[in-house]
């Protein structure tokens, strides 16, 4: 399992506050004054020293070991949480010099230890916080000051290939849970002093590190401020994943549409940064959030950029078609079969009627039955381990499908349509959006059943109005379709060649709209020229 390690840069005030609440301690102002005050209140101070240990001693990983220095014969203790501290470093690098060196006074620690991060302190309030961050507390007999030796345990997962946004060509690295590792991956791709990484601590109990990344001089300041303000306004006890942020800081929390793009690809993140977007990284989450986004971006796979622009555009248009198809095909089936028999071509009529005739249900029940079956299969497949999941696919797809047609519960035409719709919905590259598409067809189905094509039109109007009202970090979600910005089509529904991508997207209102010189990009230097 992965343990979070809190480095020293954490926001002290916040940390302290939270720890205080965690330990249910009542530090009053008076008591704090006592820390600095003279020996007359030593009694009180001793109480406190025992107090901070009270909760920690209950934990099994709390370690306190006693040692004697061989030279001075002084007794010293090392206190730490074994799960957070790299014990190898302690045993090899810290303990031997302390045992053998000239250790008379606590100040000698700095000389004795080869470890860089040694801090002296006399304040009790620091103790739990430091211990929880992976420091070892060193106390010397008869000394009021104690030393903190920082040696946090680094449990790091190796970088693996992206699973959700897999691409055949292109880089094969995906984010992992520790935030430092993720930042490292981005920094490596963008060695820029202008790449700013601002850190926030969110979550009263989880104290999760959240980083906001942007390139200064490119990203619009207003967007940065919006993100920063929204993050600092957050009030929650625990942040488990970056998807919490998608829900909490997006403009409309009641929309089924995700308004921040989540990605596990460092290449996608760095190219978004270059475009002038803001990226949010959350410690413990292998997904970065990109904002502001627009609807079309959710149907763009990052692989599009690795392919020739003609292929990429073709694939994007296929995705767009498949999304519309996936949402619309079953509602259209219901509407046409229930109300608009006139629309069916005569040659198709016989296929539809003969397959429908044996079905005892009205079209809507038939469709709902199959749609729910498909959703069940998906959900069951998602909850089960991969190997069992395949079995589910076979059971669901082949056995249930053919059996339900043979039993006369559904018509085989509909079965084909449902299967196609499910297949089409898988083409959406962003998982969050494909979930949205799953759910969108149900209101359409109901409206189709109630009013036929008129109902579908009404539902579509509602959907369109909702999409037009949506914003992502204050910027229109439907851009470039509405507001119509023809120039931004270069990388929305289409993916035009790189030489026409010389400018940053208009809607981001970047501080520096020009990415590179178009003239130079167009010039092709040949060796014989």
Closest CB to other proteins among 61 and 406?
Answer: 406
**Of the candidates 297, 333, 356, 327, the residue with the CA atom closest to the CA atom of residue 494:** 297
Q: At closest approach, how far in Å is the CB of 501 from other proteins?
A: 44
Closest CB to other proteins among 21 and 357?
Answer: 357
Structure tokens that stand for 212 in this block: 């906001």
Residue 354, CA distances (Å) to 171, 349, 357, 370 in order? 51, 8, 5, 19
Closest CB to other proteins among 84 and 359?
Answer: 359
DSSP track, 445-513: HHHHHHHHHHHHHHHHHHHHHHHHH-EETTEETTTTTTTT-GGGGGBTTSB--GGG--B--GGG--SS-
Closest CB to other proteins among 352 and 440?
Answer: 352
* In contact, 394 and 381? CB cutoff 8 Å: no
Q: At closest approach, how far in Å is the CB of 450 from other proteins?
A: 4
Q: At closest approach, how far in Å is the CB of 356 from other proteins?
A: 4
Structure tokens that stand for 175 in this block: 């984010």
Q: At closest approach, how far in Å is the CB of 476 from other proteins?
A: 24
Q: At closest approach, how far in Å is the CB of 354 from other proteins?
A: 5
Beta strands (DSSP E) in 103-194 are 118-121, 135-140, 146-150
Closest CB to other proteins among 354 and 390?
Answer: 354
**Of the candidates 274, 319, 271, the residue with the CA atom closest to the CA atom of residue 430:** 319
Residue 515, CA distances (Å) to 480, 499, 503 in order? 19, 11, 5
Peptide bond connecting 455 to the previous residue in cis, omega within 30 degrees of 0: no
Distance CA 127, CA 49 (A): 9
Residue 256 is given by DSSP the state S
Residue 502, CA distances (Å) to 128, 182, 220, 489 in order? 53, 28, 18, 13
**Of the candidates 113, 98, 43, the residue with the CA atom closest to the CA atom of residue 65:** 98
Q: At closest approach, how far in Å is the CB of 458 from other proteins?
A: 9
Closest CB to other proteins among 153 and 356?
Answer: 356
Q: At closest approach, how far in Å is the CB of 440 from other proteins?
A: 18
Residue 12 is given by DSSP the state H
Closest CB to other proteins among 97 and 443?
Answer: 443
**Of the candidates 436, 457, 439, 438, the residue with the CA atom closest to the CA atom of residue 448:** 457
Q: At closest approach, how far in Å is the CB of 414 from other proteins?
A: 12
Closest CB to other proteins among 127 and 456?
Answer: 456
Structure tokens that stand for 497 in this block: 């060649």
* In contact, 210 and 281? CB cutoff 8 Å: yes
* In contact, 362 and 410? CB cutoff 8 Å: no
Q: At closest approach, how far in Å is the CB of 353 from other proteins?
A: 4
Buried b (16+ CB within 10 A) or exposed e, 404-424: bbeeebbbbbbbebbeebbeb
Q: At closest approach, how far in Å is the CB of 188 from other proteins?
A: 50
* In contact, 482 and 408? CB cutoff 8 Å: no
Q: At closest approach, how far in Å is the CB of 363 from other proteins?
A: 6
Q: What is the largest CA-CA distance in the chain?
A: 103
Closest CB to other proteins among 85 and 335?
Answer: 335
Q: How many CB atoms are located within 10 Å of the residue 227 CB?
A: 26
Q: At closest approach, how far in Å is the CB of 459 from other proteins?
A: 11
Closest CB to other proteins among 292 and 452?
Answer: 452
Closest CB to other proteins among 281 and 336?
Answer: 336
Binding site for other proteins (CB under 8 A): 337-339, 341-342, 344, 346-347, 349-354, 356-357, 359, 362-363, 450-452, 454
Closest CB to other proteins among 136 and 447?
Answer: 447
């Amino acid at each position: 399992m992965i343990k979070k390690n809190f480095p020293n840069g954490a926001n002290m005030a916040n940390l302290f506050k939270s720890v205080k609440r965690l330990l249910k301690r009542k530090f009053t102002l008076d008591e704090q004054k006592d820390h600095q005050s003279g020996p007359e209140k030593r009694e009180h101070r001793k109480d406190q020293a025992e107090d901070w240990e009270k909760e920690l001693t209950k934990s099994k990983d709390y370690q306190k070991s006693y040692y004697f220095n061989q030279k001075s014969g002084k007794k010293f203790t090392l206190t730490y949480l074994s799960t957070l501290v790299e014990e190898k470093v302690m045993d090899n690098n810290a303990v031997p010099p302390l045992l053998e060196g000239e250790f008379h006074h606590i100040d000698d620690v700095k000389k004795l230890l080869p470890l860089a991060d040694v801090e002296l302190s006399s304040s009790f309030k620091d103790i739990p916080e430091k211990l929880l961050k992976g420091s070892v507390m060193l106390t010397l007999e008869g000394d009021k000051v104690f030393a903190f030796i920082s040696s946090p345990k680094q449990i790091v997962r190796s970088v693996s290939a992206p699973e959700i946004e897999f691409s055949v060509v292109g880089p094969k690295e995906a984010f992992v849970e520790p935030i430092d590792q993720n930042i490292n991956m981005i920094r490596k791709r963008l060695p820029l002093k202008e790449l700013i990484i601002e850190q926030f601590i969110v979550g009263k109990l989880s104290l999760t590190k959240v980083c906001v990344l942007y390139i200064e001089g490119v990203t619009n300041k207003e967007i940065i401020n919006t993100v920063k303000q929204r993050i600092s306004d957050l009030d929650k006890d625990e942040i488990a994943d970056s998807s919490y942020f998608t829900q909490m800081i997006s403009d409309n929390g009641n929309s089924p549409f995700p308004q921040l793009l989540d990605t596990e690809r460092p290449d996608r993140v760095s190219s978004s940064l270059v475009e002038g977007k803001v990226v949010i990284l959350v410690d413990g989450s292998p997904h970065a959030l990109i904002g502001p986004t627009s609807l079309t971006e959710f149907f763009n796979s990052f692989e599009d950029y690795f392919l020739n622009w003609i292929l990429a555009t073709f694939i994007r248009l296929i995705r767009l078609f498949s999304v519309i198809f996936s949402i619309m095909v079953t509602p259209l089936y219901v509407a046409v079969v229930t109300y608009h028999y006139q629309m069916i071509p005569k040659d198709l009529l016989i296929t539809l009627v003969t397959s429908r005739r044996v079905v005892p249900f009205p079209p809507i029940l038939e469709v709902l039955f199959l749609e729910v079956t498909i959703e069940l299969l998906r959900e069951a497949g998602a909850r089960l381990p991969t190997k069992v999941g395949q079995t589910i696919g076979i059971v669901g797809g082949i056995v249930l499908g053919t059996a339900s047609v043979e039993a006369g519960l559904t018509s085989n035409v509909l079965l084909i349509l449902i299967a196609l719709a499910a297949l089409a919905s898988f083409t959406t590259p962003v998982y969050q959006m494909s979930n949205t598409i799953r759910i969108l067809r149900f209101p359409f189905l109901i409206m189709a059943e109630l009013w036929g094509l008129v109902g579908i039109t009404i539902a579509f109007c509602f959907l369109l109005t909702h999409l037009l009202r949506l914003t992502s970090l204050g910027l229109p979600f439907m851009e470039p379709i509405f507001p119509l910005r023809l120039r931004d089509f270069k990388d929305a529904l289409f993916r035009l060649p790189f030489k026409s991508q010389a400018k940053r997207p208009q809607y981001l209102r970047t501080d520096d709209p020009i990415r590179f010189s178009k003239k130079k990009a167009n010039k092709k230097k040949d060796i014989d020229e």
